[in-house]
Amino acid sequence: MRAYLLRRILFFLPTLFIITLLSFLISQCAPGDPVEQMLTGRSGGGEEQLAEKQASRRLYLEKRHELGLDLPIFYFSIVPLAEPETLYRIPFRPVQEALERLTYEFGNWPKVQAYYQAYLQLDSAFYASLGDTTWGERRTEVRALLTLLPQEKRYSEIQYLLRRMEPLLLPYLRPYYEAVKQAVEELPRTSQRWRLYIPTIHWHGTQNQYHRWLVGLMKGDFGISYQDKRPIGEKLLDAVKWSLVINFVSLLLAYVVAIPLGVLAGVRRGSFFDRGIGLILFMLESLPPFWVGTMAVVFLCGGDFLALFPPGGVQSTEFSDQWSIGRKLLDWSYHLILPVLIGTYGAWAFLSRQMRAAILENLHQDYVRTARAKGLPEWLVIWKHAFRNSLIPIITLLASVLPAMISGSVILETIFSIPGMGYLSYGAMTARDYPVIIAVFTIGAVLTLIGLLIGDILYAIADPRISYARRG
């Protein structure tokens, strides 16, 4: 058994690694610049002056350094020869992406960089000239064009923006403008696309974003929410409690209901009971939980129909800490009964069908015949002999039930406004609060993985054959 468990744990680690990698990869795909998201609400809006611009840039760079976003992304990087390994140092993600894109088009980083440098000079020259009264109305437009220019990925659009800028500029900005224009025009002439097809590997060591993120993850630091700037770990700690309670109760209820149903259906195979249960459970399996949840809210929770249950939340408005524990429990269960039931019925169908199959298989085994032959009463044969042996495969089904429940809680918690992880994640989805979404995914996946490991351990304990039957 030890070898089996060791094998499972050995399998657990790479899977965990892959999951963190996946989360990190998804987080890298989130649109926008994380630092800017973090700093939103700070700039007063309106027209920035030179000093403000410099100040906000400095603030940006400081924040970026603090968050470790000026580090390379992974332990190593494989990039074409054309792409510099230092691209990650360029601040402002849209700019970084645009420059990368241009490099991928022309294969010539030095020239792209020259364009960017020329742009920076033009930009600072523009900001230095803000006080000039001869600008008039044109200033706003030039400012907008200058903001757009470095974020533009398509070459033709860059040319277009430059053409639009040309007549608007003040005479003494001309040289800077000409430099940018020249650099842009040089790009297609000095194209070195072959450099794109030679891969190079760079080693960055542990000073990278993924490593930082992973270490933070292990310490329970999930980053900071865009919405309220609170640490995500703190936000999740309150939420995970409810999700765990609901999922645990659902899991328990799923097994407690499904197992007897499956056994009874299997024992009375082909009977009216068997077929009836089979049909009902089959229908339940096809019922989308979000629909049943919505229907329950509309028809049972005080719409135009019945008002049997509260429409959402986990406790009544008059809930107070002075209540006795019994009263508290009663209040909570009154609020949670619908979501738990709706989160469970899918598993009933699945589990009881498997239970039925397992018990049927065992009822045909020799040892059951022996038990019957020695005159044991039928209930003892079923519950003491056949049932126990059919239970083992059911334990492993945790692997199929648990992930579904954890994902399902996003929907149920949203419908019933339960302040759990799923609800938090839904709120984050509508507010585009990417760090929270990713944290919830990571935690959900890790919880699933731990659940699976526990299932495996239970399985190993329940079935002594495992140590012999499997190749270590």
Partner 1 sequence: MHAADKQEAVRPLSYSPGARIWETFKRNRLAYAALWMVGALVGVALLADFLAYNKPIVASYQGQLLFPIFRDYGERFLGLRLWPATWRKLDWRTLPLDWAIWPPVRYAPEELDLRNAPAVGPTEEQIIRTPAERHYLGTDRLGRDVLSGLIHGTRISLTVGIISMGIAALIGIVLGALAGYFGDDRLRISRASLWLGSFGLLIGLYYGFFVRRYALAEALGEGFLPFIGAFGLSLFVVALCTVLVWLPSRWLKRTRWGGKPVAVWVDFAISRLIEIKLSIPTMLLIFTVAAIAKPSIFLVMVIIGLTGWTGIARLTRGEMLKVRSMDYIQAARALGYSELRVAFLHALPNALTSALVSIAFGVASAILVESSLSFLGLGVSRTTVTWGALVSGARGDIHAWWLAVFPGLAIFLVVTAFNLIGEGLRDAIDPRLQAR
Indicate whether 11 belongs to the interface with partner 1 (CB under 8 A): yes
- One residue of 76, 194, 248, 305 binding partner 1 per CB under 8 A: 305
- Least distance (Å) between residue 215 CB and partner 1: 22
Indicate whether 74 belongs to the interface with partner 1 (CB under 8 A): no
- Least distance (Å) between residue 159 CB and partner 1: 19
Indicate whether 449 belongs to the interface with partner 1 (CB under 8 A): yes
CB 107 within 8 A of CB 191: yes
Does the CA dihedral 388-393-397-398 come out positive or negative? Answer: positive
- What is the CA angle 270-276-279, rounded to 5? 105
- Least distance (Å) between residue 115 CB and partner 1: 19
- One residue of 438, 459, 460, 463 binding partner 1 per CB under 8 A: 438
CB 459 within 8 A of CB 470: no
Alpha-carbon Rg of the chain, whole angstroms?
31
Burial of 398 (0-12, 13-18, 19+ CB in 10 A): buried
Indicate whether 155 belongs to the interface with partner 1 (CB under 8 A): no
Distance CA 143, CA 163 (A): 15
- One residue of 408, 413, 423, 424 binding partner 1 per CB under 8 A: 408
Q: How many residues bind partner 1 (CB under 8 A)?
A: 63
Give Cβ neighbours of residue 393 (< 8 Å, ≥ 6 apart).
Answer: 354, 358
- One residue of 2, 14, 131, 272 binding partner 1 per CB under 8 A: 14
Of the candidates 269, 226, 281, which has an alpha carbon nearest to the alpha carbon of residue 428? 226
For 346, the token pair is: 């899918």
68 or 80: CB nearest partner 1 = 80
Indicate whether 434 belongs to the interface with partner 1 (CB under 8 A): yes
Distance CA 127, CA 57 (A): 13
- One residue of 74, 75, 104, 273 binding partner 1 per CB under 8 A: 104
- One residue of 244, 399, 458, 462 binding partner 1 per CB under 8 A: 399
Indicate whether 383 belongs to the interface with partner 1 (CB under 8 A): no
Indicate whether 429 belongs to the interface with partner 1 (CB under 8 A): yes
Give Cβ neighbours of residue 51 (< 8 Å, ≥ 6 apart).
Answer: none
Indicate whether 224 belongs to the interface with partner 1 (CB under 8 A): no
Indicate whether 94 belongs to the interface with partner 1 (CB under 8 A): no
Of the candidates 349, 344, 317, 275, which has an alpha carbon nearest to the alpha carbon of residue 417? 317
Indicate whether 194 belongs to the interface with partner 1 (CB under 8 A): no
CB 176 within 8 A of CB 122: yes
Distance (Å) of CA 348 to CA 244, 294, 402, 470: 19, 20, 13, 30
336 or 449: CB nearest partner 1 = 449
Indicate whether 288 belongs to the interface with partner 1 (CB under 8 A): yes
Distance CA 323, CA 143 (A): 61
- Least distance (Å) between residue 450 CB and partner 1: 10
The count of C-alpha atoms lying within 13 angstroms of the C-alpha of 277, restricted to the half-sphere facing its C-beta, is 26
71 or 438: CB nearest partner 1 = 438
Locate tokens 């906000």: which residue? 56
- Stretch touching partner 1 by CB under 8 A, among 34-42, 114-122, 173-181, 430-438: 430-438
Distance CA 269, CA 152 (A): 68
Locate tokens 């018990």: which residue? 359
Indicate whether 397 belongs to the interface with partner 1 (CB under 8 A): no
Of the candidates 295, 302, 303, which has an alpha carbon nearest to the alpha carbon of residue 341? 295
- One residue of 267, 444, 459, 460 binding partner 1 per CB under 8 A: 444
332 or 441: CB nearest partner 1 = 441
Does the CA dihedral 431-432-437-439 come out positive or negative? Answer: negative
Distance (Å) of CA 3 to CA 8, 11, 57: 9, 12, 57
- Stretch touching partner 1 by CB under 8 A, among 157-165, 209-217, 289-297, 386-394: 289-297
Window 307-326: contact mask with partner 1 (x via CB under 8 A): ----x---------------
- Stretch touching partner 1 by CB under 8 A, among 17-25, 125-133, 334-342, 366-374: 17-25
Indicate whether 156 belongs to the interface with partner 1 (CB under 8 A): no
- Stretch touching partner 1 by CB under 8 A, among 60-68, 114-122, 444-452, 461-469: 444-452
> Which residues form the interface with partner 1 (CB under 8 A)?
11, 14-15, 18-19, 22, 26, 29-31, 78, 80, 101, 104, 196-197, 199, 282-283, 285-288, 290-291, 294-295, 297-299, 301-305, 311, 357, 360, 399, 403-404, 406-408, 410-411, 414-415, 425-426, 428-430, 434, 437-438, 440-441, 444-445, 448-449, 452
